[in-house]
Amino acid sequence: MVKSLQDTTTLSNGVKMPWFGLGVFKVEEGSEVVESVKAALRNGYRSIDTAAIYQNEEGVGQAIRESGIAREELFVTSKVWNADLGYESTIAAYETSLKKLGLEYLDLYLIHWPVAGKYKEAWRALETLYKEGRVKAIGVSNFHVHHLEDVMKDAEIKPMVNQVEYHPRLAQKELRAFCQEQGIQLEAWSPLMQGQLLDNEVLQTIAEKHNKSVAQVILRWDLQNGVVTIPKSIKEHRIIENSQVFDFELTSEDMGAIDSLNEDRRVGPDPDNFDF
């Protein structure tokens, strides 16, 4: 049972990753990202998820420095963008991210999207960075089962994490089962479906029963399904509220009711059909 914000899941290589973190997608560079990351760290968060394309790595790095929290207590993730996928270019992109963050290493580095014909070379670069001890763990984002199978055909090292869109309307059952079987940790982006589920009656009923918010119920569902989650917010009260999910448990009945909301519906792009 996950008991606190600092609780971790152990990745296939033995690295410990917090079950819960702060995502900073669409959080503006500058004071907005600095303040939201500092608020999260101040309130017990230890995992921060950014990406090169978010263009806020510098602010994330500044917040980490200003927080005064020891680097080894933190778990920092970034991602290589599509334009940089390739062996040399991915290694260069990693260096750039490190420099912007002002860090010596990352805890987790991900391939952001499975660009056809490019992600395998990028994966080789991640394996090199990993073998050189420059990143603690490596993984992918937005990979379907067939992308994972394709990368694993030639990989020396299996992806440790797959970060995908995941919420009650997109329960990713097949992908979740595959990742479990392969020892790949599933991680949710957009766990709250960009707010589109907050007035759902099924979720409201469950929330009232537990005296919790709908957001807290969804985030709890993630955790009880063994999925790492990184909700984004820039408001301190919301950052705190999102993390208050360790003092209650959904029943199997609650879990089933939430599972039944699945429609395989995305708010983000389909990894088989994106053009960026």
Give the residue carrying structure tokens 């209650």.
Answer: 248
DSSP H helices in 30-78? 31-42, 57-67
Q: What tokens were used for 159?
A: 């992806």
- The predicted-structure confidence for 232-269, as pLDDT tens digits, reads as follows 999 999 999 999 999 999 999 999 999 999 999 999 99
- The predicted-structure confidence for 111-143, as pLDDT tens digits, reads as follows 999 999 999 999 999 999 999 999 999 999 999
What confidence tier does 182 reach under pLDDT thresholds 50, 70, 90? very high
Distances (CA, A) of 188 to 54, 104, 126, 166: 17, 26, 21, 5
Helix, strand, coil % in the chain, rounded to nearest 5 = 45, 15, 40
Listed in order, strand segments (DSSP E) in the chain are 8-10, 16-18, 22-23, 47-49, 75-80, 108-111, 138-141, 161-165, 185-189, 228-229
- The predicted-structure confidence for 228-240, as pLDDT tens digits, reads as follows 999 999 999 999 9
User: How many other C-beta atoms can be found within 10 angstroms of the C-beta atom of residue 70?
Assistant: 7
> What is the mean pLDDT of the segment spanning 29-53?
98
- pTM for this one? 0.98
CATH number assigned to the domain with residue range 16-259, chosen from the 4 options 3.30.56.10, 2.60.120.10, 3.20.20.100, 1.50.10.10: 3.20.20.100
**What are the residue ranges spanned by the domains of the chain?**
16-259
Closest CA to 84 of 131, 51, 133: 51
Catalytic residues: 54
Longest dimension (CA), the chain: 53
Give the residue carrying structure tokens 């009656």.
Answer: 201
- The predicted-structure confidence for 155-178, as pLDDT tens digits, reads as follows 999 999 999 999 999 999 999 999
pLDDT of residue 186 exceeding 90:
yes
Q: Measured in Å, how far apart are the chain's first and last C-alpha atoms?
A: 39
Amino acid at residue number 180: Q
In this prediction, residue 276 carries a pLDDT of 96
